Structure 1
Amino acid sequence: MNRKRWTALFLVLAVFVLGIGVESIFGGIRNLTDHPEYAWDEHVVSGSGTAKIVQLYVNGTITSERSTASVTPMADLLTEQIRRIEEDEQVKAVVLRIESPGGEVVATDELHRRLLRLKELRQIPLVVSMGSTAASGGYYLATAGDAIFANPNTLTGSLGVIFTLTNYSNAIHKLGIQEYAIKSGRFKDIGSPARPLTEPERQIFQTLVNQSYDRFVDVIVKGRSLPRERVLQIADGRIYSGEQAKRLGLVDRFGDLEDATRYALTLTGLPEAQIVRFTENISLGNLIFRMQRYWSNPDPLGLERILQQGSTPKLLYQFIP
């Protein structure tokens, strides 16, 4: 039994030491292409020829915040993948597959701008394929597309902004707890959960929400060539089915990922192309890097982040039932 314990301990220490070595090596790397966190292979799904059509995936909540020690934020991954597409002259079109309820306003807007820059820089078509959910910030990204495909049952819409604050002032009052804020200005503790929200504070937050909402309306107007008055009518936060969205002019066609990819090929004017996806590179360096990151993290399960979620409110382009 003791021998087994010593063997297990030795293996753990070996992995940790190797991880530190990998960390020190990769810490000095400036090109993300060589970093284990951004190491992908190109997987050819189908097709032939030298030209490529890349199927790019937006999965889950759009965020730039790291959820756990071993998971890279989705916005960071997409940003690096977009950069690689920009540098690859063989890529002739991109199909953006969206399976997302949206997410952070800033992360969503930054990705949207990068998609527009990609189209302008490379002069290539971008076709959007919606999955079961492509709502709020998911739709925000979709407006960058030259065409939007959806299933009649896709959940989309939720066009708007939400900003939530947690308040427990009544609870702490009943418990006899007092919190004092020594502040430099009237609004320095704006949104404090320990006291009721004042009307001037509510107006400040509402102004921020309205500004982000106006930006959302702008990208729909420009991306979908719809009158602003019409967009204001339909962008009231409600959820739409794909069928409803098509009638409203938010979606162009019904179809799945393959339909969207075939349409992208027609836009290139080419007779054939390789259909390519980015897949995570499976290597010893990648495994050691992730294990080292996990074990060196003081909160590997993310419990502290979960407990503190309500303490940092954010503007969200997100469908939240």
Structure 2
Amino acid sequence: MNTDPEDPAGAPPPSATAPPAARPAPAAGSARLEDTVERLVRDLLRDRRSERRWRVFFRLAWFGLFVAVAWAIFVDSRLSAAPAGPHTALVEVKGEIATDADASAEAIVAGLRSAFEDAGAQAVVLRINSPGGSPVQAGIVNDEIRRLKALHGKKLYAVVEEVCASGAYYIAAAADEIFVDKASLVGSIGVLMDGFGFTGAMDKLGVERRLLTAGDNKGMLDPFSPQNERHVAYAQAMIDQIHRQFIDAVRDGRGARLKETPEMFSGLFWNGEKAVELGLADRTGNLDYVAREVVKAEEIIDYTPRGNLAERLAKRFGAGIGESAVRALGGMAPALR
């Protein structure tokens, strides 16, 4: 056996002593691609989880809203159907008196009819807090109060909180008695028709008004055209006539209690104390006082139609569209305010 270190015959084969060859490292581009794909997958899963959570949230929110509305309708129906003993019937007149407002003639009259028709209602109280509004709506309510009082033989009292002015007083004048707080604002027996004129601004801006009408008076009181004296006189005569109707309703309702002065029908308003002196109101007192001391039925049941959530939203939407249309047409209509 040859043990000479220099003897090639005794050397081990190269394959027995050489270390194994290292595997080639993966390319850098391939690693970046894997990281990108992994990151995209993580983001996708996170977005899916977030989307699922929001979907569940909105479903629960809609379900909660549905339950709340259903419960409100159920409670309201139970209350309205509940039998009532002797009580004072309340109908609210709050805010502007207008077609699409909460204090529309339709809503007020519906509440008044229900109140008068209830055998347990000893009398009806209109609680008023309104600056006025449409003479048409106020006139409808005034006429209906007179009809219902004659039909059912019940008294109706008006109780004024903060304000009972103009169209609101038109309604209150039909009451058997009017109760006020000494600091309430009462009166404003007048009519107005307001708008704007833009002709001077248009001249400065170099804007030309192009208006085509079929009918000599179709463009009457157009805010973008110069005032026509004949049209102004016609509009003034119209609101004067409405003013006379208002005055007649007040005189008819208040009768000999009214202590007329030259300024009474001028559009001025007074505090409650002075209104009692002038005969525009009868005495001071709030709702509880009238129910307890005048009607002699302390329990108060509210007959004011409230409407459900969907109806209120629809009314608001409709009122917004109507107001925009009126503005587009010039924004001029008679008002008691």
The bucket for the TM-score relative to the shorter chain is 0.7 to 0.9
Give the partner amino acid of 1:55.
Answer: L
Q: Which moved more, 1:76-85 or 1:238-247?
A: 76-85
Quote the residue 2:13 is aligned against.
none
Indicate how the Cα distance of structure 1 residues 184 and 220 shifts in structure 2: closer, same or farther if over 3 A, else same: same
Quote the residue 1:276 is aligned against.
301
Is 1:57 matched with 2:57? no
**Normalised TM-score (structure 1):** 0.75
Quote the residue 1:256 is aligned against.
286
Q: 1:6 Cα shift?
A: 3.1
Task: Please list, as runs of the form range in 1=range in 2, the aligned pairs for 1:200-279 lying within 5 A after superposition.
Answer: 200-226=230-256, 230=260, 233-265=263-295, 272=297, 274-278=299-303
Is 1:317 matched with 2:336? yes
Is 1:128 matched with 2:158? yes
Indicate how the Cα distance of structure 1 residues 10 and 184 shifts in structure 2: closer, same or farther if over 3 A, else same: same
Distance in 1 (CA, whole Å) between partners of 2:179 and 2:52 is: 60
Indicate how the Cα distance of structure 1 residues 175 and 7 shifts in structure 2: closer, same or farther if over 3 A, else same: farther
3-state DSSP of counterpart to 1:139: helix
Quote the residue 1:3 is aligned against.
52
**Normalised TM-score (structure 2):** 0.71
Give the partner amino acid of 1:275.
Answer: I
CA contact (8 A) 1:130 1:154 kept: yes
Structure 1's unaligned 5+ residue stretches are: 23-34, 67-71, 267-271
Indicate how the Cα distance of structure 1 residues 91 and 134 shifts in structure 2: closer, same or farther if over 3 A, else same: same
1:246-280 C-alpha deviation (Å, 9 max, x unpaired): 111111111222222234415xxxxx564211377
Structure (1/2) with the larger helix percentage = 2
CA contact (8 A) 1:42 1:276 kept: no
3-state DSSP of counterpart to 1:118: helix
Distance in 1 (CA, whole Å) between partners of 2:197 and 2:60 is: 48
3-state DSSP of counterpart to 1:230: coil
Give the partner amino acid of 1:6.
Answer: R
Distance in 2 (CA, whole Å) between partners of 1:301 and 1:184 is: 29
Paired residue total? 280
Quote the residue 1:26 is aligned against.
none
Identical positions, percent: 25
Quote the residue 1:27 is aligned against.
none
1:20-64 C-alpha deviation (Å, 9 max, x unpaired): xx9xxxxxxxxxxxx99x9794599xxx98223202111111111
Distance in 1 (CA, whole Å) between partners of 2:53 and 2:223 is: 51
Whose Rg is larger?
Answer: 2
CA contact (8 A) 1:39 1:280 kept: no
Distance in 1 (CA, whole Å) between partners of 2:100 and 2:158 is: 25
Distance in 2 (CA, whole Å) between partners of 1:42 and 1:13 is: 27
Distance in 1 (CA, whole Å) between partners of 2:191 and 2:147 is: 24
Distance in 2 (CA, whole Å) between partners of 1:112 and 1:174 is: 48
Give the partner amino acid of 2:334.
Answer: L
Indicate how the Cα distance of structure 1 residues 228 and 57 shifts in structure 2: closer, same or farther if over 3 A, else same: closer
Quote the residue 2:183 is aligned against.
153
Distance in 2 (CA, whole Å) between partners of 1:189 and 1:50 is: 58
Structure (1/2) with the larger strand percentage = 1
CA contact (8 A) 1:158 1:236 kept: yes
Indicate how the Cα distance of structure 1 residues 94 and 164 shifts in structure 2: closer, same or farther if over 3 A, else same: same
